[in-house]
Amino acid sequence: MQIFPAIDIKDGQAVRLFKGDFAQKTVVNPDVLDQARTFAAVGMTFIHVVDLDGALTGQVVNRDLIARLKAETGLGIQVGGGIRTLEQIRDYLQVGVDRVIIGSMAVKAPDFVAEALATFGPDRIMVGIDAKDGFVATEGWLETSNIDFVTLAKSMADRGVQHLIYTDVARDGTLTGPNFDHYERLIAELPQVQIIASGGIADVSDLERLAELGVAGTIVGKAYYQGRISLDQFKAFGG
C-alpha cells in the first residue's frame, strides 16, 4: 500500500479542513514548497495535492504554485481541484504533474472522463469520489447529488477508470477513522480498479487495517500534521 502525504492549498498556504468545511480551516504550513520539500527530504516519492481554491471556482487557481512543487522537488504529484476541461488537464501534465484527478465532472459529465482517458491514458487520469451519507458530493463538497458512491464508481470503471480515490466527507479531517465498510464494498465490487483511501485516518492502526483490506494507497493529511503518524511510519508502508 502506497502512502500519499496530502497538501491542500488555500490562499497559497497548506491547510486542513474539517469535514470539508472551508470555514473550519487550519493552516498547517504557510509555505507550501517548504512542506513539499519536507516530504521529499525523507524519501517520499508521491504527494496528493488539492487546489481548494480551484475546487470552489472551477479554475486551476494554484496551477503555478503546483508547477513549482513539481519543478523544485521532483516528487510525483497527483492533483485535483477545479478540473473542468481537457485543456486544464493537458496543461497540468505539460508542467510535469503525473496524474490529474477529475471530481465533480465525473458526476456532471461522465463522458468527459471517458474523453480524458482516451486522450491522456488511464495511468494519467484519476477519478475522485467524495460522498456524504453515501451520496456523491460535488463543487468542493458544497453540493450533494442523488447518486450512490458505488453506482458512480461502477460507471467510472465501465468507462475505463483504473485509479479511484474515495473520501467519506463526514470522516475527512475528523481523525475518527476511515469508513472501512465503504472501502470493503468498493474493493469487492471493483476488483480491477486501484482504490485509494482518503479521509478520517487517525493512526497507524487505520493504515494497517486499510492495507489488510487491500486498498492500493492511502492519502494522509491531518494525522500527520497533528503528529499522530510520523514520516518514518509513512516510509514503513511505502512512499
Confirm if 28 and 16 have CB atoms less than 8 A apart.
yes
Which residues carry out catalysis? 8, 130
Give which of 161, 167, 164, 202 is closest to 182, Cα–Cα.
167
* CA atoms in the 13 A half-sphere facing the CB of 102: 32
Confirm if 21 and 14 have CB atoms less than 8 A apart.
no
Q: State the sign of the Cα–Cα–Cα–Cα dihedral 143, 151, 119, 219.
A: positive
Confirm if 60 and 92 have CB atoms less than 8 A apart.
yes
If you ran DSSP here, which 8-state letter would residue 192 be given?
A: T
* Other Cβ atoms closer than 10 A to 190: 18
Cell numbers 500527520 correspond to what residue? 224
Q: What is the CA radius of gyration of the chain?
A: 16
Confirm if 64 and 96 have CB atoms less than 8 A apart.
no
